[in-house]
Amino acid sequence: MTEKLIHQSLHTEVACCTKHMIDEFNHSPLKSDVFLSNLFGKLTIQYEDLYEAMNQSNEDSDVEEKDLIRDDKIRALLNILNDHMHHPDNNIQKASAKVKQVFDKYGMGMINEGYTIESSIIHSLLKDLDEPHIQVDIHQIPSCQTICDALKQAQQDFENALKLEKSKMIRIGMKESARSIKRLILDTINNQLINYLNSMQQTNNNYDTFFKTIHQIITHSNARTKSLEEKK
């Protein structure tokens, strides 16, 4: 009998292990086995769902990264305004004070708001900064226009990432989380595939090679997982 894939396995480990099993089955002489063929058809769908769910998690991280970037641009704008309010050139001082008044209408608290509210505040800020009389002041402050342009781009990049995430969510619908899909895969492998192979291997020599291959895949996967657990 072969051991079962342990439940502590990471999503990536389960995905890798499952893909390996699918590839081995597709190159085995057992594709004529109706039970195995149906089981691996189901396992393939589960693997694809898991892969998609893990990619969705990566996209969530991309949105967070873009949010941090726009926050950095907001800080940079405030810093340059504060610095130039003490500039030896009186005109730059006055221009910085005027632009700072515009910024202060919204304040640094915007970066602590949720995605939607922060976006709304940034759009309002950028609109005010684009006013002709404010543009005159901005162009007197060294590097200020560059930072304003960088903030516009950072906001656009954030919105693009958020749009991609939302469109992906619509496309995949309300599918299970990666954790839920992993549980389904573990059930398919541990309670269906392994039980079937254990039974067939005892009565039919044609299953020996594939049985040993699956056993090896699981053994190596479990060893990697146990090694990670020991390092925690």
- The whole-number pLDDT of residue 183 equals 86
How far is 6 from 190, CA to CA, in rounded Å? 9
Confidence (pTM): 0.53
pLDDT tens digits for range 18-73? 999 999 999 999 999 999 999 999 999 999 988 887 776 655 567 878 998 999 99
Do 165 and 75 share a structural domain? yes
CA nearest 16: which of 218, 191, 226? Answer: 218
Q: Are residues 39 and 73 in the same domain?
A: no
Residue after which a domain boundary falls, among 172, 197, 214? 172
Express each pLDDT in 70-113 by its tens digit.
Answer: 999 999 999 999 999 999 999 999 999 999 999 999 999 898 88
Decide if pLDDT at 174 tops 50: no
97 with 165, same domain: the answer is yes
- 194, part of any domain: yes
Domain extent at residue 215: 11-56+177-231
Do both 168 and 74 map to the same domain?
Answer: yes
143: left (phi over 0), alpha (psi -120 to 50) or beta: left
Same domain membership, residue 132 and residue 77: yes
pLDDT at 232: 56
CB count, 10 Å around CB of 29? 10
Q: Do 23 and 71 fall within a single domain?
A: no
Tally of CB atoms within 10 A around 45: 12
Same domain, 165 and 78: yes
Tell me if 103 is assigned to some domain: yes
* Burial of 213: CB neighbours in 10 Å, binned 0-12, 13-18, 19+: middle
Q: Is residue 4 situated within a structural domain?
A: no
Amino acid at 83: D
- Nearest alpha carbon to residue 214 among 229, 228, 201, 204: 201
Judgement on whether residues 44 and 125 belong to the same structural domain of the protein: no
Q: Is residue 30 part of a domain?
A: yes
Residue 1 lies in a domain: no
Q: What is the DSSP letter of 111?
A: G
Say whether pLDDT at 157 is over 90: yes
Within a domain: 62: no
* Count of structural domains, the chain: 2
Give dist(CA 93, CA 141) in Å, integer.
8
Residues 51, 3: Cα–Cα separation, whole Å: 24
Q: Is the pLDDT of residue 124 over 60?
A: yes
Domain co-membership, 202 together with 133 = no
Same domain flag for 197 and 129: no
